[in-house]
Amino acid sequence: MASKSILRALNVTATIVLVAIFAIPFLWMISTSLKSYPETVIFPPKWIPSKVIWSNFQAAWESGPFLKYLMNSVVVSISILLLQFTTIILAAYAFARYSFKGDKLLFGITMVTLMIPGQLIFLPVYLLLSKWGLINNLLALILPFASSAFGIFMLRQSFKQVQEELIEAARLDQTPEWKIILRIMVPMARPTLVTFALFSFIAHWNDYFWPLVMTTSDAARTLPIGISKLREVDGGAAWHILMAGNMILVVPILIVFLFGQRQIIKAFVYSGVK
């Protein structure tokens, strides 16, 4: 009984420490975004601002064409997600439900691409897109991510858990393959799809490197680039403005997460990646 109490106490302590590690920087960002500039540089730091300065958000928004940055981020993130859904659903279905010559080799090659960082291949991709005249174009931020090896892996594992009897029954009724995918496979794998959608949206919403190297003007730049250009005060970083800009960047992610959290839990608890 005593050992169970100790383990429970250790579990609670570890959970609190883990939550604090992730929550404290976020809370500090909120606090700083509501402070005046002098309060952001005093030592020891103050967690609670003496006066809440809501105008920091207005200053951050007006420091550049933030509406343009926001619209570009929305277009890029959603377009990538739609293209990825199209490609990973078809590829995952083929890998999960068909046996063909070289299927294991092709799947192995797909998995190997997970180990190749984007920074390693950006130069040949840049040269190719430059040859096509797509530099400083939203297509340059979308097309290189039209598919996802991670998404194919996740969805293949989920599709393999669908009972074969369901698919065979649909085929006996002469149901076309595209209807089997849309009406049986996709609904059964919805938690996995929502989880992947959240991962993909966050990754490309926050992406800084790719928009930086593929764009040269504000016409095609996204929010992370805009926030990095926030103005300075007296040669030093305007932390209150920077944190207000970061809050603008984070809020859409929090909204997406709140809508998708139940499906994420289902994907890992009930479906599981085996």
Each residue's pLDDT tens digit, 35-53: 888 888 777 877 888 888 8
- What value does the mean pLDDT take over residues 2-7? 74
What letter would DSSP give residue 35?
S
pLDDT digits (tens, 9 = 90+) for 79-129: 999 999 999 999 999 998 888 888 889 888 888 888 888 778 888 888 998
pLDDT for the residue numbered 72: 93
pLDDT for the residue numbered 180: 85
What's the CA gap between 53 and 140, in Å, rounded? 38
* Selection from 168, 164, 161, 163 nearest residue 192 by Cα: 161
pLDDT for the residue numbered 244: 87
pLDDT for the residue numbered 266: 63
What's the CA gap between 137 and 89, in Å, rounded? 27
Which residues, 6+ apart, have CB-to-CB distance to 194 below 8 Å?
260, 263, 264, 267
Neighbours of 217 (CB within 10 A): 7
pLDDT tier at 274 (50, 70, 90 boundaries)? very low
Q: Which residue has the tokens 């209150």?
A: 240
In DSSP notation, 168-233 reads HHHHHTT--HHHHIIIIIHHHTHHHHHHHHHHHHHHHHS--HHHHHH--SGGG--HHHHHHT--EE
pLDDT exceeds 90 at position 32: no
Whole-structure pTM value: 0.82
Neighbours of 208 (CB within 10 A): 13
**Residue 129 near residue 211, CB atoms below 8 Å:** no
What separation in angstroms does the CA of 264 have from each of 19, 193, 257, 270?
Answer: 19, 9, 9, 10
